[in-house]
Copies of this chain bind each other. A is one copy, B any other.
Amino acid sequence: MASEAPISDPHPREEDIRRFVEAWGRMGSVWGISRTMAEVHALLYITGEPLCADDIMDRLAISRGNASMSLRGLLDWGIVSRAHRRGDRKDYFVAEQDVWAIFRAIVRERKKREVDPLLASLHELRDHTREAQRESGRSGKADDIDGRLDEMLEFFEMASTLAERFIGPSGPGLRFAATMLSKAPLPGGPKRGARGGARKAAQRSGRVAEDGA
């Protein structure tokens, strides 16, 4: 109400927010959503406050339609939710604040739309192959193909199960496991300097010109 826009303090943070939004937006492709959708999420996340469609349109300079669709998408993914203010008919939106919850949602969605269908095809295909092979005696080649199919299937089944656990009720358990695994106790000793470097290693964004094998 009263304090709504501290114009005198033109948000020194505003610049930081902009930058975060931009960085996060570029990641959009990684989790399979559009840049704008990612930016909307970034804005809501970093801001931490409920924002309405107009706030978002303004700050991101996007159209109403785009804002609406992005928000809808985010809502579907379950990483943003609606909120209301009394005496205000606008819809406000807030982003899930728990990073792990965010990533669980991402994994859940991607698995659903990309891994599951693939797994289905692979199974179907494998069955078909098996059958065909049986009824025609076996020709040498088929065995190899079958084997490769199996290996692939096995891998994806493992990945799928792992993902299920991550997103499932025991998610927190996995969280623990992941944290542990990343923390360096593996047997075999610290042979490489890799890990300490994690911190700074990030810089080399440039393409590695290791052409021509």
Contact = CB atoms under 8 A, between A and B. Distances in A.
Nearest to A207: B113
Contacts of A197: 126, 150, 153-154
A110 to B, nearest CB: 7
A129 B16 contact: yes
B205 A120 contact: yes
Contacts of A154: 99, 197-198, 201-202
Nearest to A22: B121
Q: How many copies does the complex hold?
A: 2
A61 interface: no
A118 B162 contact: no
A70 B182 CA distance: 34
A20 interface: yes
Given A23-B121, A132-B16, A170 B187 contact: yes
A82 interface: yes
DSSP class of A's interface residues: helix, strand, loop or mixed? Answer: helix
A4 interface: no
Contact of A13 (B12, B145, B151): B145
Contacts of A170: 186-188
Interface string A140-154: 011011011111111
B165 A123 contact: no
Contact of A162 (B19, B139, B181): B181
**How big is chain A's contact interface, by range?**
35 or more
Contacts of A116: 201-205
B81 A148 contact: no
A114 interface: yes
A169 interface: yes
A75 B208 contact: no
Given A75-B213, A168-B194, A99 B155 contact: yes
Contact of A213 (B81, B122, B188): B81
A74 to B, nearest CB: 11
B48 A144 contact: yes
